[in-house]
Amino acid sequence: MTFKKTGFALATFITMLFVAMAQAQAGDLTVSGAASLTDAFKEVGAVFQAKHPAVKVQFNFASSDTLLQQIAKGAPVDVFASADQGTMNKAEAQKLITTASRKNFVGNSLVVIVPSDSSATVKAVADLKQANFKRIAIGNPASVPVGRYTKEVLEAATVWPALEGKMILAQNVRQSLDYVARGEVDAGFVYGTDAAIQRDKVKVALTVPTQKPITYPIAATSAAANAAEAAQFVEFTLTPEAQAIFAKYGFTKP
């Protein structure tokens, strides 16, 4: 199976995104968020919109690196939420966000999941070297934060070389989740929040301590067409009301 995204495909995707976003009217708020935020952000956005009836919130979800590329190419985005600090650091270095608005708003965990009908047990990441684990889904470390967290853990455990040949690289964490949920792989690395939304199809085999805490930063973009609304949305993610929604989906406080 090949899951490489060609340059042409990415260019086409970005072009389609520009067309869709160009239709946004004044007062619309475009939020680009890491794929793992999909369900929680949709609910948070609905509550925010109810409090600000003049604002229509629209979301764009993908891997954090893909979102950064879109913003760097000029996609009309008001708010950017990344699944890792590194990607947001790049956005800041490129002056794509307003530094003063940057906040850490949620945290997450890294887990190994297996199909719900699997009898496999995983007590440590080294167990994935066993023959019954033939295919393991991970986010592509070159472009997906969860993949980078995973690689750091596996390298620290000195099992990366042994597992690399088994890896199926995903374009974002939800794709890894889908591979496991459909039984197309024997295990996968995802965030704890992603595992929670497919409890009927996957189960957590191991919660993996990471080299550094998994924290999500959010910021208004420097080119935000709706700067006031962007600032309001960023601040809203830190309110008790929004934090309660994030907690419901398994996110922790940063």
Give DSSP secondary structure letters for the chain. Answer: ---PPPHHHHHHHHHHHHHHHHTPPTTEEEEEEEGGGHHHHHHHHHHHHHH-TT-EEEEEEE-HHHHHHHHHTT---SEEE-SSHHHHHHHHHTT-B-GGG-EEEEEE-EEEEEETT-----SSGGGGGSTT---EEEE-TTT-HHHHHHHHHHHHTT-HHHHHTTEEEESSHHHHHHHHHTTSSSEEEEEHHHHHTTTTTEEEEEEE--SS-EEEEEEEBTT-TTHHHHHHHHHHTTSHHHHHHHHHTT-B--
Q: In this predicted structure, what is the pLDDT of residue 194?
A: 97
Decide if 57 is inside a domain.
yes
Whether 80 is in a domain gets the answer: yes
Q: Residue 1 domain-assigned?
A: no
- Judge whether 142 lies within some domain: yes
> Is 64 one of the annotated binding-site residues?
yes
Q: 36 among the known binding-site residues?
A: yes
149 in a labelled binding site: no
Q: Which domain holds residue 119?
A: 110-208
Residue 180 lies in a domain: yes
144 and 200 together in one domain = yes
Q: Read off the CATH number of the domain in which 86 is found.
A: 3.40.190.10
Does this model's pTM top 0.85? My answer is yes
- The mean pLDDT values, 10 residues at a time, for the chain of 254 residues are 46 51 64 98 98 96 97 97 98 98 98 97 97 98 97 97 98 98 98 96 97 96 96 98 98 94
243 falls within a domain: yes
Asked if residue 238 and residue 162 are part of one domain, the reply reads no
Q: What is the model's pLDDT at position 254? A: 87
For residue 3, the model assigns a pLDDT of 41
